[in-house]
Amino acid sequence: MDIFSGLISGVDQFLIAPYRWPKNPMAGWWLGTTAVALWATLLGRITMALVMRMNLSHVKEGLAETSMRHTQSMNALKAGDKKSYKAINQLANEAYGKTFFLQVAMGAATLWPIPLALGWLQLRFSEVRFPLPLDVSLLRNGVGYEFVFIPLYILVRILVANLVGWIGQFRKESPED
């Protein structure tokens, strides 16, 4: 058994439990998959917060340089000096490229639970297919678990972000005595 399979079987009992709570299997499917989406969202937020904490000063440094180059290039353009604009714009692009890819790599911190969740769903539900409303039977045997999980994950993520924002605002407005 490889590490991934070992990990998966370790969390399997935990993840499958909500699927078995309701008697109706369809209700169980929705509840369980929502719970998986919630866990994926929360884990992603926690690791992203950690990475942000570690890298924030580097990101800020990169963005400050980018911003400076950008202002210089726009000034050159406003002054009608197209040649300088192009050259400075190139510098701005280079400065930004570095920070951009740093942020992209950091972004993996928020997304890593998604494929792992999909991997677990694949082990458990790869045989189940959902036919579509319109008979797009042309679509091979309907759609699979990914088409439920991904939109559900997006929805849960938006709701969690709003909830966190709302709690933050609430705490700001009513400071503890």
Residues facing 143 on adjacent strands: 130
Q: Does 175 bind another protein (CB under 8 A)?
A: no
Q: Does 32 bind another protein (CB under 8 A)?
A: no
* Cα–Cα distance for residue pair 101/105, rounded to 1 Å: 6
Q: Does 35 bind another protein (CB under 8 A)?
A: no
State the number of CA atoms in the 13 A half-sphere of 163 facing the CB.
9
Q: 65's torsion region: left (phi>0), alpha (psi -120 to 50) or beta?
A: alpha
If you ran DSSP here, which 8-state letter would residue 80 be given? Answer: T
Binding track over 115-154 against another protein, x by CB under 8 A: xx-xx--x----xxxxxxx--x-xxxxxxx-xxx--xx-x
Among 10, 23, 26, 175, binds another protein (CB under 8 A): 26
Q: Does 20 bind another protein (CB under 8 A)?
A: no
Nearer to another protein, 24 or 177 (CB): 24
Q: Does 34 bind another protein (CB under 8 A)?
A: no
Nearer to another protein, 19 or 29 (CB): 29
Whether the CB-CB separation of 17 and 35 falls below 8 Å is answered with no
Phi, psi for 2 (deg, rounded to 5) = -80, 175
Among 12, 86, 164, 168, binds another protein (CB under 8 A): 86
CB of 16 to another protein, least distance (A): 17
Among 46, 49, 155, 164, binds another protein (CB under 8 A): 155
Phi, psi for 57 (deg, rounded to 5) = -65, -35
